[in-house]
Structure 1
Amino acid sequence: MKNFLKILLLIILFGAIYYFRDPLSTQVLPILENLKNNISNVFGKYIPCKEPIPYTFGTFDAKFNISKKYFLDALSLAETIWEKPVGLELFTYTPTDSSSNVLKINLIYDYRQEATSKLASLGIIVKDTRASYDMLRNKFTALKALYEKDEIDFNVRMESFNQNKLAYENKVKFWNTKGGASQKEYNQLEATHLFLENEIRELQNIQKNLNNTADEINALVVVLNRLVTSLNLSVGKYNTVNVARGESFEEGVYVSDGVNREIDIYEFSSREKLVRVLAHELGHALGLPHVSDSQAIMYELNQGNNQILTKADLDELKVRCGLK
Structure 2
Amino acid sequence: MQLKSFGSIFFFSLIGIFYYSYFSVGQYLIESNTAEISTHQTVACEKVLTYRIANIDEKYDISNSELKQVMRKVESLWEQSVQKELLQYKKEGEIGIHLIYGDEQQRSQNEKQLSRRIKTLDHRVELMRKSFNRLSKKYKEKSGEMEKALDKYNKAASKFNKKIEEWNKKGGIPRSKKSEVEQMQKDLKQLQRKGNRLKTAAESLRQRANAKSEQLNDLVDRQNEMIAEYNSRFSEVGRFDQGQYRVAGNQKRINIYQFGNRAELTAVLAHETGHALGLDHVDNPKSIMHAVMDKQNIFDLSLTKEDVSALRQRCNNY
Tell me which structure has the larger Cα radius of gyration. 2
TM-score bracket for the superposition, by shorter chain length? 0.3 to 0.5
More helix by share: 1
TM-score, with normalisation over the residues of structure 2? 0.48
Q: Which has the higher contact order (CA 8 A, sep 6+)?
A: 2
TM-score, with normalisation over the residues of structure 1? 0.47
